[in-house]
Amino acid sequence: MGHSMKFYDERILPVLIDKTCSLGQVMKLRSQVVPHCEGTVLEVGMGSGINLEFYNPEKVSLVYGLEPSEGMRRKASANLAKSPVHVEWLGLPGEQIPLDDNSVDTVLLTFTLCTIPDWLSALKQMLRVLKPGGKLLFLEHGQSPDEAVHKWQDRITPVWKRVAGGCHLNRPIADMIKESGFIVDTVENLYVPKSPKIASYIYKGTAHKATE
């Protein structure tokens, strides 16, 4: 990676992603999902910690924040300082989760699956570390069922990926979660109001790991 790209990835991109992911309507969606976390939580792609304000400290004992970007972890310090929950950083990508099998009660996934290169490996890792009966909470953007929007998503994604930190606009999120071995319980779909449709078709829901 050239010096200018490294500067972009570590300094510019975290600011852009943070701004986009914390728009009012998106924060409202986060506030509907994050409070359902319980026990020991693994948040995959914790970024700058913008979900922290929504955790219920009475229900959550520990949050493992998986975030490979040093720039993002640096940006998180202000949110960590205000947070009532205890956070431990895991500075690795989603494909390499350094936790024991069956060790977390909740996995939280918000606007992260779009960027993970090997999403299947990453989801299988999340399944591995989740306790049987534990739950996955997801809030992601992805493939629209509207054919005209979907075509544009496919067309724009190759360019978008390069400027948006590897973000794919066209991933079929619910199918991906099922394919990795999770049992999907609920999925709600909507477009984020006042946002371009290609980047704002939302998959919001819950899944669990079967008890053996």
For residue 1, count other CB atoms closer than 10 A to its CB.
Answer: 9
CA 33 vs. chain centroid, Å, equals 12
For residue 205, pLDDT beyond 90: yes
Separation of alpha carbons 90 and 92, rounded Å: 6
SS3 14: helix
User: Exposed/middle/buried for 89, CB within 10 Å: 0-12, 13-18, 19+?
Assistant: middle
What does the mean pLDDT of the chain come to?
Answer: 88
pLDDT of residue 58: 96
pLDDT of residue 46: 93
User: Exposed/middle/buried for 187, CB within 10 Å: 0-12, 13-18, 19+?
Assistant: middle
Q: Is the dihedral angle over the CA atoms 39, 40, 45, 51 positive or is it negative?
A: positive
Tens of pLDDT, residues 149-194: 999 889 888 888 887 778 888 999 999 999 999 999 999 999 988 7
Separation of alpha carbons 168 and 41, rounded Å: 25
Please report the domains of the chain, with CATH numbers, ordered by start residue: 3-208 (3.40.50.150)
Q: Which residues contact 154 (CB under 8 A, 6 or more apart)?
A: 170
Tens of pLDDT, residues 40-95: 999 999 989 999 999 999 999 999 999 988 888 888 988 999 998 999 999 877 88
Of 75, 71, 69, 72, nearest to 93 by C-alpha is: 69
- Cβ atoms of residues 153 and 169 within 8 Å: yes
> Based on C-alpha coordinates, what's the Rg of the chain?
16
For residue 195, pLDDT beyond 90: no
pTM: 0.88
